[in-house]
Amino acid sequence: MEKKDITIVGKLGEDYNRPYVCKECGGIMIFKGVGEYECEECRYLAYDDYGKARNYIEKNPGATSGEISEKTGVSQKAIRQMLRESRLEIASDSKTFMKCGICGANIRHGTLCEKCAVSYHRNVEEQERAKRALAGYGMDFKKRDDGAMHFIKAEQNK
């Protein structure tokens, strides 16, 4: 089987370099979990960007994004995206923080602090409830101009 370089773009347009084809034998890589992939032919293990970053952090707690990027080859842009997606978290003893997208508070992962996230989701839920309250049963029913009932005549069913 011919070896191919295949790259799929992640959900937010970010390239996480998922291995689809085995570098060793050209077999198909099967997802095993937590960024790990195994070749179904030769059992070679490979990692996507998340798996590489996560493994490095587990072995080197408190590593900076620059260090992770340098040692694993994962771009700092991809690391920032993983922080925004809450796939990674800034260490609790770090003086580095990200900012909440609403109030500007310091956060360690995601895009919103806990307080703003709760408020935001409550607002979305209230808007959905308001939409559903207006969309009652039969709202799309169209009346006939002559006011007659809508019945099917017996001869139409034959």
pLDDT per position as a tens digit, 61-73 = 888 889 999 999 9
Give CA–CA dist 42/92, Å, rounded: 40
Amino acid (one-letter) located at 153: K
d(CA 133, CA 43): 55
Structure tokens belonging to residue 34? 């937590």
What is the structure's pLDDT at 118? 94
Max avg pLDDT among 34-48, 90-104, 142-156: 34-48
Q: Does pLDDT of 4 surpass 50?
A: no
Please report the pLDDT score of residue 17 as a whole number. 87
pLDDT, mean over the chain: 81
**Predicted local distance difference test score (pLDDT) of residue 97:** 84
Which of 53, 55, 63, 49 has its CA nearest to residue 91?
63
| pLDDT of amino acid 93 | 79
* 3: confidence class by pLDDT, cuts 50, 70, 90: very low
Residue written as token pair 């979305």: 124
Non-local CB neighbours of 88 within 8 Å, separated by 6+ positions: 53, 54, 57, 79, 82, 109
Q: Are 36 and 54 in contact (CB under 8 A)?
A: no
pLDDT in tens, 93-141: 787 789 999 999 999 999 999 999 999 999 999 988 888 776 555 555 5
E strand or H helix that includes residue 36: strand 36-39
Rg, C-alpha atoms of the chain:
26
User: Where along the chain do its domains lie?
Assistant: 1-94, 97-135
Cβ-based neighbours of 144, under 8 Å, separated by 6 or more: 150
